[in-house]
Amino acid sequence: AGEEPTARYDVAVLGAGFAGMYMLHTLRQQGWNVHVYETGDDVGGTWYWNRYPGARCDIESLYYSYSFDEEIQQTWEWSEKYAPQPELLQYAGWVADRLDLRRDISFNTTVEHAVWDEDATEWVLETNGGDVIRSRYLVTAVGCLSAARVPDFPGLEHYQGKQYHTSKWPHEGVDFTGQRVAVIGTGSSGIQSIPLIAEQASQLTVFQRTPNFSIPAHNRTLDPAEVARVKADYPSIRAELRLTAGGMIVKNPPTKAALETPEDERRQEFDSRWAEGGLTFLGGFTDTSVDETANAIAAEYVRERIRDIVKDPQTADLLSPKDYPIGAKRLCVDTGYYDTFNRDHVRLVDLRSQPIEEITATGIRAGDEEMEFDAIVFATGFDAMTGPLLKIDIRGVDGVALKDKWAAGPRTYLGVSTAGFPNLFMITGPGSPSVLSNMLVSIEQHVEWISDHLNHLRDHDLQRSEAEVPAEDDWVQHVNDVASVTLMNKAASWYRGANIPGKPRIFMPYVGGVGNYRVHCQKIADSGYQGFVHS
């Protein structure tokens, strides 16, 4: 810590995705000396990394976009209902140009260590290039799904073919024409990429451990009249979104319970939501996310649709989730996923009956069967929420490592700070709604709340802010309590760390809704930041 720093800032921000970009802009406008460190060679975060075929947002583009700048939201033109990855990346770049963000971002730079220096009331950061940076405040904008994970299949190192992880996709793209391709994993990334990989591959084998519920996207080009209507009404729509549960527009929000609705009417409701498509499929009834019987009715409806689409009954059955409630994992949104399994050159391998024993030099041995592949695509997900933070060696008061403090699961106050780590603020951290919401809504709220907090400190001539343990304990308890009244705890999901062997099983995001969360955070701010010690 005695080393001469390469640079000194008021605020260092880690990550130049939508969160880091807005954090930089906001603080810079408010007169802070702020700098961003980004591993990639440009802005965009999630949309910079996830370049696999079919990568697309599952929130409608008109709402998955910044709302803080009227000119930005009026000027940018979205082409489709659900924006494809290249367009989202282009949007991020365009915003960075307009706001001249890149001049305060160091690209190709990863902060590997962040050590709190109590005497100086500063963070001391060290990058992969060996630069040492001192900053009073540290804001993480590292995302929730950015620590990619390839399971350690035996023999992986011997494989001679090409291998890809969906979130580390080559920038030049991949041509699978004429190749025998394996895709391992059937989460959103698998479900979006499989139909497109099938278009090219001569043979496609999908390795599924757990089937997901997927709802058709019914993606389409946006109708200019609809865009004009939304844009004319943006301020009020955005204000409304901020107070919803998920930061999404739910058409005809639910007024009735599925269990109290006659069967034909219930079916009509599901039919119309299926025809509309997308994440709000479960938005028809008040009880599907809390009542197991109501939930089972919705789940059976989707299984029926799968049986309608997939011609081979055994494949249809394997693709049908049966052992967890619908919605307990984020719904997938697809274009032609189930139908892809009707193609002669596409095969589904069920890992429950035929587990992967080994990756060989030429392919995969599953059960007793040895298969050859020219390429393996790992659509195996992420070490979610805590992974991106714990990749960084963060040490707080008395040198305590964040990974040790969180050994039994993440503990935060409001999802934004953690006791023992003063002047560290997390955007979309564990304990915040983040991954359960429209990320842009969550990001804007966090950025504004954090900057208000920093401005409060500056205005009162204070330099140090730390969450108190009792406030943190209460928040962790509250996050658990609200999760336990839903059915969200009933699936082995990455929300609970269940995809990573040995990771503590704690429900990480806050299910109370972005609206309630926002009101609560505002109350804390208005109280002069109750639960924080300022000095």
Interacting residue ranges for ligand NA7, rule: CB under 6 A = 145, 151, 166, 184-190, 209-210, 330, 351, 379-381, 494, 499
Tokens standing for 250? 């739910």
Q: Which is nearer to ligand NA7, 23 or 191 (CB)?
A: 191
Residues 272 and 205: their CA atoms lie apart, in Å, by 33
> Which is nearer to ligand NA7, 390 or 525 (by Cβ)?
390
CB nearer ligand NA7, residue 369 or residue 481: 369
Calculate the CA dihedral of residues 56, 62, 64, 66 and round it to 10 degrees: 130
Q: What is the DSSP string of 249-293?
A: --SS---B-GGGS-HHHHHHHHHHHHHH-SGGGGGGBSSTTT-HH
The strand pairing partners of 164, in sequence order, are: 377
Q: In whole angstroms, how close is the CB of 534 to ligand NA7 at the nearest point?
A: 36
Closer to ligand NA7 by Cβ: residue 173 or 501 = 501
Least distance (Å) between residue 434 CB and ligand NA7: 10
| Residue ranges in 53-187 assigned as alpha helix (H) | 70-75, 85-98
- 177: how many CB neighbours lie within 10 A of its CB? 9
Distance of closest approach, residue 499 Cβ to ligand NA7, in angstroms: 4
The closest of 378, 402, 412, 388 to 532, measured between CA atoms, is: 412
Q: Token pair of 523, please?
A: 């109350």
Minimum distance, C-beta of residue 166 to ligand NA7, in the bound complex (Å): 6
Residues 6+ apart with CB under 8 A from 27: 10, 11, 13, 34, 451, 454
Dihedral sign of CA atoms 446, 447, 448, 451 in order: positive
The residue number with the shortest CB distance to ligand NA7 is 187
The least distance separating ligand NA7 from the CB of residue 356, rounded to whole angstroms, comes to: 6
Nearer to ligand NA7, 406 or 494 (CB): 494
Choice between 330 and 520, CB closer to ligand NA7: 330
Query: Which CB atom, from 86 or from 528, has the smaller least distance to ligand NA7?
Result: 86
118, 397 in Cβ contact below 8 A? Answer: yes
Cβ nearer to ligand NA7, comparing 27 with 379: 379
Q: How far is the CB of 188 from ligand NA7 (least distance, A)?
A: 4
Minimum gap (Å) between residue 312 Cβ and ligand NA7:
20
Asked if 61 and 81 count as a contact pair (C-beta separation under 8 A), the reply is yes
CB of 58 to ligand NA7, least distance (A): 7
